[in-house]
Structure 1
């Protein structure tokens, strides 16, 4: 399982816009977070990735899908102050 480190601007345009909006709503800039991706070990077809978002000593992983549900899960974590 290879892990790829990338910038948030490498996300699909819709997910990138949603990520930027969520960050702004909570007083963050997208650059405050490190994002990496790897193949989803639960997906045998290798169609989805597992995104890991880090800030400081905190990290959370999200299943990336075509609907962008991970952005809503990320915002829920911000609401719970997980990354502060």
Structure 2
């Protein structure tokens, strides 16, 4: 049982589009963040953990079928990533 690593460009196109929209709503661009994801090789794709980094700030989200984007937007709203 291994861990599969993903980069931003490996995420589903829908997730990338939603992420870009959330960034734009809050005055950011996707290049302001470093995105990575990992998932156990034998688990469904939607069980991955998505990690977002900006400067010294890092937050990890359970994917849960795209729920990570809502959680990321909540963090942007409360200025977690400053």
Please tell me whether the aligned partners of residues 3 and 36 of structure 1 are also in contact (alpha carbons under 8 angstroms): no
**TM-score for the superposition, normalised by structure 1:** 0.81
TM-score of the superposition, structure 2-length normalised?
Answer: 0.83
Contact 2:57–2:81 (Cα < 8 Å) also in 1: yes
Aligned to 1:12: 12
Q: What's the C-alpha RMSD, in Å, of the aligned pairs?
A: 1.8
| Partners of 1:3 and 1:36 in 2: CA distance | 11
Structure 2 alignment gaps of length 5 or more? none
The alpha-carbon distance between structure 1 residues 3 and 80, as it changes in their structure 2 partners (threshold 3 A), is farther
The structure that is helix-richer by fraction is 2
Question: What are the Cα deviations for residues 13-65 of structure 1, in whole angstroms up to 9, with x where unaligned?
Answer: 1111110000000111001111111226xxxx622110110000000001112
Which runs of at least 4 in structure 1 moved beyond 4 Å after TM superposition?
A: none
> Which residue of the partner structure matches residue 50 of structure 2?
51
| Unaligned stretches of 5+ residues in structure 1 | none
